[in-house]
C-alpha cells in the first residue's frame, strides 16, 4: 500500500480534486492530464508532458467559458453546434466579458433553424441554467462525499496523504 487513497461513490474525480485543491490551494498541485481540471486556479502538473504550470483565476474562468461554448460529450455538457476549439477561442479572444460573449453566442446559435433536437425550443437562459446546474451538482455531490469520508475516518489534507 503505497498511498492512502480516498475513494468516493457516484462522484466524478475532477469534482473531488477541485474541492480538495480549494481546501489547500497553496499546499497542493493538481497532477492530471484532464483538461477540465485546468479550469481550477492554482498549480498543475501534466504527468504526460512532465510540465508544471500555474493557472491564474482569469485563465481558469476563460477555460470554463470556453467549455460552455464547445460543450463536453464526456461530461454530458451540451455545446453550441459546430463550435469547436477555433471558434470558441475566436469568440472569447475578442470579448471584454467572457460570460457575456457566451450568452451572445448561445443566443445566436439558438436563433438558427437546424438545431439538434435536444436544443430545439430552448432559451439561452434555460441552456445556461442547465450548464451551471450540471457543474454545481457535480461540486455538491463531491462535497457531500468528502464530508462523509471525513466523518468515517480521520481525514488528512491531500498534501499529507501523498
Q: What is the pLDDT of residue 25?
A: 80
What are 45-84's pLDDT values in tens digits? 999 999 999 999 999 999 989 998 998 888 777 889 899 9
How far apart, in whole angstroms, are the C-alpha atoms of residue 79 and residue 159? 35
pLDDT at 1 exceeding the cut of 90:
no
Three-state secondary structure of 66-114: HHHHHCECCCCECCCCCCCHHHHHHHHHCCCCHHHHHHHHHHHHHCCCC
Q: What is the pLDDT of residue 156?
A: 46
Grid cell 479572444 in the structure block, residue: 93
Grid cell 508544471 in the structure block, residue: 52
Q: Which of 12, 56, 11, 49 shows the shortest CA–CA distance to 32?
A: 49
What are 113-153's pLDDT values in tens digits? 777 777 777 777 888 777 776 656 555 665 666 666 555 44
Amino acid at each position: 500500500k503505497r498511498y492512502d487513497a480516498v475513494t468516493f461513490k457516484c462522484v466524478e474525480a475532477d469534482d473531488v480534486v477541485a474541492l480538495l485543491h480549494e481546501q489547500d490551494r497553496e499546499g497542493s498541485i493538481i497532477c492530471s492530464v484532464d483538461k477540465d481540471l485546468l479550469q481550477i486556479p492554482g498549480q498543475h502538473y501534466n504527468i504526460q508532458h512532465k510540465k508544471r504550470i500555474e493557472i491564474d483565476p482569469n485563465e481558469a474562468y476563460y477555460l470554463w467559458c470556453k467549455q460552455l461554448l464547445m460543450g463536453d460529450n464526456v461530461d454530458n455538457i451540451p455545446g453550441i453546434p459546430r463550435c469547436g476549439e477555433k471558434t470558441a477561442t475566436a469568440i472569447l479572444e475578442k470579448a471584454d466579458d467572457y460570460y457575456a460573449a457566451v450568452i451572445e453566442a448561445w443566443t445566436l446559435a439558438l436563433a438558427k433553424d437546424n438545431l439538434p433536437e435536444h436544443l430545439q425550443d430552448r432559451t439561452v437562459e434555460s441552456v445556461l441554467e442547465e450548464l451551471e446546474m450540471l457543474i454545481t451538482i457535480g461540486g455538491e455531490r463531491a462535497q457531500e462525499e468528502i464530508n462523509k469520508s471525513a466523518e468515517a475516518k480521520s481525514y488528512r489534507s491531500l498534501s499529507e496523504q501523498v
